[in-house]
Amino acid sequence: MNQGALAVRLIAVGSTGRFWLATLFTLGFSIALLMVFNSQLSGDQMPMLDLGWQLARHHVWVAHGMLTSAGGYSPGGLTGLLTGIQLLLWSDYRSPALFILIFNAAAFLLLLRTVRPALTELGQLLLLLLLWLSPWHLYFSSHLWDPNYMFVFAVLHLATAQRMWRHNEVWTTAAHVLLLGLGVQMHTSAAVLCILSLLLYMKGLIKVNWTGAALGVILCVASLVPWMLALAHQPELMPGGKGFPLRGLLFVFPVLRGILYWVKISSLSLAGQMEDFNFIPTLGVALDTVLRPLASSLTLLTQVSVIVCGWLQWRFFRKRLLLPFRAIRVSSRPRGWLQQYVTVFLWAALIAFALSPTTIMHWQVLIALPSSALAVIMSTEVLARSRLRLHVGRVVKVWSVAAVVLLFCEAVASPMYRCGAYRLQEPSAILADLHVRMECFDEHGK
């Protein structure tokens, strides 16, 4: 056995051991806990915190969610309800961030269990390395923000859809429809899941129990009754108002931007604000002088990972890209079905990019992270059995080290996880009640 085959085999064998699985999962969870402890508040977090605080302290349940990119507010009061319950359990501004991390951790374990039959042992390890330890995933799992829940909804969609592929059940279909409705309440980017479910049904990739679907719709409508009553008095709460439908298709660039983010979120390349590292508040000037140039050099090198992910995704989609437009035979194997699901997800995302009335931003594509990563993982599994297996083993090792270093940099030096990066309003009841460290929001904040 040559060195490359041995390297890949050792990686694959390690992924099956409970020790390695537990170690990698614990490593990611520990870094994310540090992020939660260091998490800050900005203008994006304060409205969401206020929704929960009104429920927790004044027993006022606001019927709408957060302001959307297209104007208006997300329908339904799920955001305030979840945040309020979290603040009741722990009265601290970091409480919702902790619960978001817990939800995301549970969702990842569910994902691992769901896709395990479809992946090789190497693929299961790559799921931990490329998804759980992804600098994108843990960054958006460790602070308060409504898009940070989208990973959970994406995983639940995959898990229920896989069950619907095999079984025609009332409760599975009802749960699937309900999570679509609740997902849109949490963040409007969940609309892509609605498009995805429709495409999956049209291609015969899921079985729909119509009694369950009706039950799910009834539950969704019931959850929206308070919002509909509020809408009658405040029409301005209706989402939308900015831009126009099919804007992405007309101008093309928004669709191309969405495709770029689809590739980028499965890579090591970060969004601009995520990589604005400053180690001074946490580690001091001396270490910052050394670490900041190294971190900047690393983030520059990670741009190569976008090319790698783009190539791997092209290898995955090139023979499947026209799947929605031709008659297909629904696979009877878990791996075949998962490949079809990921391909249809890409088309659902493209449709959503085209329909979006506003320019696509990275937080609107976070919901595609599991499927984007799975495309890279399944493509890498194939390469690991080819003559390129030696290079696969080397790249996986380098990628793993780079990911952990980037996570450390994020946890102590990115704006969302360091003191002094943001400026808040003057001290108020909500900030004092939730133990916000006002010294982190001085005149040096942005």
* pLDDT for residue 422: 86
Q: Is the pLDDT at 15 greater than 80, yes or no? A: no
| Mean pLDDT for the stretch of residues 327-349 | 92
How many whole angstroms separate alpha carbon 143 and alpha carbon 94?
8
Mean per-residue pLDDT over the chain, rounded: 89
Q: Is the pLDDT at 159 greater than 60, yes or no? A: yes
| Model confidence band, residue 287 (pLDDT cutoffs 50, 70, 90) | very high
**Among the listed residues 47, 45, 56, 22, the one whose alpha carbon sits nearest the alpha carbon of residue 433:** 56
DSSP per-residue letters across 322-353: TGGGS--PPPSSHHHHHHHHHHHHHHHHHHHH
- Dihedral sign from CA coordinates of 185, 189, 194, 200: negative
Lowest mean pLDDT among 95-99, 269-273, 405-409: 269-273
| Mean pLDDT for the stretch of residues 224-250 | 77
* pLDDT for residue 445: 47
**pLDDT tens digits, residue range 41-55?**
988 888 999 999 999
* pLDDT for residue 204: 93
- Contact of 129 with 396, CB cutoff 8 Å: yes
Q: Is the pLDDT at 5 greater than 50, yes or no? A: no
| Model confidence band, residue 441 (pLDDT cutoffs 50, 70, 90) | confident
* pLDDT for residue 323: 74
Instruction: Look at 235 and 295; give whichever has higher pLDDT.
Output: 295
| Model confidence band, residue 426 (pLDDT cutoffs 50, 70, 90) | low
* pLDDT for residue 201: 96
Q: Is the pLDDT at 224 greater than 70, yes or no? A: yes
| Mean pLDDT for the stretch of residues 287-308 | 95
**pLDDT tens digits, residue range 91-109?**
999 999 999 999 999 999 9
- Contact of 382 with 315, CB cutoff 8 Å: yes
Residues 6+ apart with CB under 8 A from 318: none
Q: Is the pLDDT at 412 greater than 90, yes or no? A: yes
Q: Is the pLDDT at 442 greater than 90, yes or no? A: no
How many whole angstroms separate alpha carbon 293 and alpha carbon 271?
18
How many whole angstroms separate alpha carbon 115 and alpha carbon 161?
12
Instruction: Look at 353 and 245; give whichever has higher pLDDT.
Output: 353
**Among the listed residues 384, 360, 253, 264, the one whose alpha carbon sits nearest the alpha carbon of residue 313:** 264
| Model confidence band, residue 9 (pLDDT cutoffs 50, 70, 90) | very low
Residue matched to tokens 């770029």: 260
| Model confidence band, residue 245 (pLDDT cutoffs 50, 70, 90) | low
| Mean pLDDT for the stretch of residues 415-419 | 94
Q: Is the pLDDT at 59 greater than 70, yes or no? A: yes
**pLDDT tens digits, residue range 111-121?**
999 999 999 98
| Mean pLDDT for the stretch of residues 59-76 | 84
Q: Is the pLDDT at 134 greater than 80, yes or no? A: yes
Q: What is the pTM of this model?
A: 0.93
How many whole angstroms separate alpha carbon 27 and alpha carbon 110?
18
Say what percent of the chain tops pLDDT 70: 91
| Mean pLDDT for the stretch of residues 166-187 | 96
How many whole angstroms separate alpha carbon 44 and alpha carbon 40?
11
* pLDDT for residue 237: 80
| Mean pLDDT for the stretch of residues 199-212 | 96
- Dihedral sign from CA coordinates of 144, 264, 197, 110: negative
Residues recorded for the chain? 446
